[in-house]
Amino acid sequence: MPAGHERPPVVIVGAGVAGLVAAVALHEAGIPVRVFEAADDVGGRMRTDRHAEGFLLDRGYQVLLDAYPAAQRWIDHDALELGRFDAGALLWTGRRLAPLANPLRHPAALPRDLTSRVFSMADKVRLARLGAETACAPWQSANQAATSLGNDMPAVEYLWSCGFSEAFVDRFARPFWGGITLDPHLAGSSGPLLFTMKMFLRGSAALPKAGIGAMPFQLLARLPEGTVSLSSRVTSIVVADGRLTGVRVARKKIPAAAVIVATDPVAAEQLTGVRALANAAAGVPSVTVFLAGERDPGTGPRIVLDATRRLLVNEIAPLSAAQPSYAPPGRHLIAAVIVGDAARNADLEDIGQRARDDVATMLGHDPSDWRVLETVAVPFSQFAQPPGIYRRLPGNVAHPPGLFLASEATVDSSYNGAMLSGDNAAGIVRRELAFAASAPRVERDAAG
Ligand SMILES: Cc1cc2nc3c(=O)[nH]c(=O)nc-3n(C[C@H](O)[C@H](O)[C@H](O)COP(=O)(O)OP(=O)(O)OC[C@H]3O[C@@H](n4cnc5c(N)ncnc54)[C@H](O)[C@@H]3O)c2cc1C
């Protein structure tokens, strides 16, 4: 920059966790940043609303995994006052709820689980072997887990190749990992299956006391006031002489030393023209029906999986049993989660009542014990991750010079992937700005 002119800030488009991590990393490295967010608050897909009756409703059921490497780097988990789900599940067999526990956390449950007939002893041995392999793997992301395979394949085929039985795949793997990847067919890459297995063995699924939206708020608190402009949609990037010079917000040009596009993949493709990003058709939907009641679900903080695969609801998450702050005193909150084709073709008019009936069936309650509080449909919850996709994803550097990407879309579809991407993008921008700042000095030195 000419003497007397201050370098403009790095502009970040989008205040989801990818954009916020990038902003915090740059700010803490002494680089001025401005963040523009189209929505009325930060968090992107990780937001929490307080219902008029005092319940905490996340914008779709999701959990915090405290072993996620990127979250361990960027999030103070203790400050979130986590409520944890139990390391195990209850499987609805059509007649009863069969318990299944993680033997590393609940060794006392081992004799019971080993003799349970939900799936065979051979499957239990295979599961223990796979668990031991994944727990020691060095992966930092689902992307790395998939890439380490060399030949990525659909998750279901990976399970077949390990010798798992149909009973194991249908009764446990499809509802369990189907709930995580939102695809009960398990047709996507094996990476998320392997990586989340490692995460569940290394840590817990949990909910922050203030809801899932507490994570982005924790990042926001590390930025100076006024850094983030809400309700400010970036409509285009501005290029002059082949180099990016700023962005346009409400027709006004905002100058930028560099621009990091940290929107969802669909908006990122529209703004940057980078074609390798997931488009709207690649969005994987989910529907969450929040149900409130005065009757204890009776599950403890354990999720309930539909092992019959005949119900609309894939799983029940007893939210207030895991994190009591999710419901006012004396009340209970559960999430009935619908994924796969059922979520894609969901008729939102009657889905709440159907979910309530499924919940009553699985819990052995009367449907009138539960009331539909809200139904949250998110058409683009994650992007589809077919086998091999990670090799085709774009990197953090885009064109023209000065344009960068920070998004789950450069790593994998998870908040771990989003945070890793934000961290990477900030590192690259720091190095580029440092290089640009040092270049004139080198010329002067050379001149004598
Ligand atoms: C129901 C649901 C369940 C999930 N479950 C899990 C889970 O259990 N574990 C997990 O790891 N992940 C889960 N995910 C995925 C996870 O939430 C996302 O991977 C992550 O939040 C993506 O973060 P991001 O910052 O890349 O994008 P986003 O969160 O999409 O943030 C992008 C931001 O950019 C803003 N924006 C878009 N266009 C513009 C523009 N032109 N100008 C300015 N701002 C703009 C948007 O408003 C948004 O705030 C789930 C997601 C959903 C919806």
49-53 contacts, C-beta under 8 A, 24 or more apart: 51/373, 51/374, 53/292, 53/328, 53/331, 53/373
Q: Is the CB of 181 under 6 A from ligand 1?
A: no
Output the CA 317–ligand 1 centroid distance in Å. 21
What is the phi-psi region of residue 347: left when phi exceeds 0, alpha when psi lies from -120 to 50, beta otherwise? Answer: beta
Output the CA 415–ligand 1 centroid distance in Å. 8
For the chain, the first-to-last Cα distance in angstroms comes to 21
For the CA of 271, the nearest atom of ligand 1: 41
Q: Which of 13, 49, 62 to mutate to test the pocket of ligand 1 (most atoms within 8 A of CB)?
A: 62
CB atoms within 10 A of CB 186: 22
CATH number belonging to the domain at 10-45+213-278+391-447, selected among 1.10.10.10, 3.40.50.1000, 3.40.50.300, 3.50.50.60: 3.50.50.60
Query: Under CATH, what is the fold of the domain 48-101+204-210+283-383?
Result: Polyamine Oxidase; Chain A, domain 2 (3.90.660)
CA 113, 117, 121, 122 dihedral sign is: negative
Q: At what angle do helices 121-136 and 190-202 cross, to 10 degrees?
A: 80
Residue type, 414: S
**What pLDDT score was predicted for residue 31?**
96
pLDDT tens track, the chain, 448 positions: 444 457 899 999 999 999 999 999 999 999 999 999 999 999 999 999 999 999 999 999 999 999 999 999 999 999 999 999 998 899 999 999 999 877 667 666 666 666 666 778 899 889 989 999 999 999 999 999 999 998 999 999 999 999 999 999 999 999 999 999 999 999 999 999 999 999 999 999 999 999 999 999 999 999 999 999 999 999 999 999 988 999 999 999 999 999 999 999 999 999 998 876 667 678 999 999 999 999 999 999 999 999 999 999 999 999 999 999 999 999 999 999 999 999 998 888 899 999 999 999 999 999 999 999 999 999 999 999 999 999 989 999 999 999 999 999 999 999 999 999 999 999 999 999 987 777 655 444 444 3
Q: Which of 149, 284, 132, 100 is nearest to 197 (CA)?
A: 132
Domain limits, the chain: 10-45+213-278+391-447, 48-101+204-210+283-383, 119-203
CA distance 313 to 318: 13
Output the CA 299–ligand 1 centroid distance in Å. 30
Q: Is the CB of 13 under 6 A from ligand 1?
A: yes
Output the CA 51–ligand 1 centroid distance in Å. 21
Q: Is the CB of 34 under 6 A from ligand 1?
A: no
Cis, bond preceding 400 (omega within 30 deg of 0):
yes
pTM score, whole prediction: 0.94
Query: Torsions phi, psi of 84, nearest 5?
Result: -105, 145
Q: Which of 45, 286, 376, 416 to mutate to test the pocket of ligand 1 (most atoms within 8 A of CB)?
A: 45
Q: For ligand 1, atom 8, name the residue with the nearest CA.
A: 62
